[in-house]
Amino acid sequence: ANSPMPEGGFKLPQNMDEAKALARKSGAFIQEQFVAAKEAGLFSYFKEFFTDIAMPLPLEKLKDKTTMQQLVLVQYPDHEQGFIVGVAGTVWLESLGALFNFLFGASPAYVIFEIVYALLVAYVLYFMVTKSPVAKHAEYALYLFVFYTVLNAWETFTSLIFILPALFIGCKTICSAICSAYTYNIMKKKKGAVPLEDVEIAQ
C-alpha cells in the first residue's frame, strides 16, 4: 500500500490541489489499513480486551511492589502483559477523568462519549500491538503512543500550578510512556518473527 508520507519526509501542502491530493492519498491509506486490520481479526477480540482492561494482572501481582516496579521501569519479562497493564491504566484514568468532568458540570452524554471514545481508541491500539500479525500496525501504534505521551507531558507541565490536575495528567503520561516502551519492544519482536509478506500488507 502507498503511504501518505512522501519521500523525503512530510511536506505541508502548498495549495488546495496539493491538500486535496494529500487527503485522497491519506484516505486511501487509512482504508487499506482498515481492510488489512479487519482481515487480521480487528473485530474478534472485544471479550479479551474488556477482560484484560478490567483485570490486567492477578490482584496479588498488582499489589506486589517488585512487579509494579518492573512494570513501570519496563522490565517486566512479558512485554505484552506489561503493555496491557499500561493500556488498562490509561483507560481507567481517562474514565476517571470523565467522571470528574461530570462532577464539575459536564453533561452525561459528554461523559459517556469520553469513556466510549477512550475504550474504542484503546481497543484499536490493543489490537494493533498485541493481536495483529502485521508488524507495521505495532509501529503505527508506537507513533500514536509517543505523540500521546508528549501531549500529556506538555499538559502536565502547563498545569503544574494546579496540583491535582498535574498529578492526574502526570499519571496518564507515565501510562502512555510505558505503553510506548512496551510497544517498541513488541514491534521489534514482531519485525523479527512475522513473515515478510505479512509485514508488507501495510507498506
Q: Map out the domains of the chain as residue ranges.
A: 45-52+79-191
pTM: 0.74
Please tell me what DSSP assigns to residue 181.
Answer: H
Q: Compute the distance between CA of residue 133 and CA of residue 203 in angstroms, rounded to an integer.
A: 14
Q: Compute the distance between CA of residue 127 and CA of residue 138 in angstroms, rounded to an integer.
A: 9
pLDDT tens digits, one per residue of 109-157: 988 998 998 899 999 999 999 998 887 888 889 999 999 889 888 878 8
Q: Which cell is 8 given?
A: 523525503
pLDDT tens digits, one per residue of 48-84: 999 999 999 999 998 999 999 999 999 999 999 999 9
Tell me the three state secondary structure of residue 180: helix
Q: Compute the distance between CA of residue 76 and CA of residue 66 in angstroms, rounded to an integer.
A: 10
Please tell me what DSSP assigns to residue 40.
Answer: T
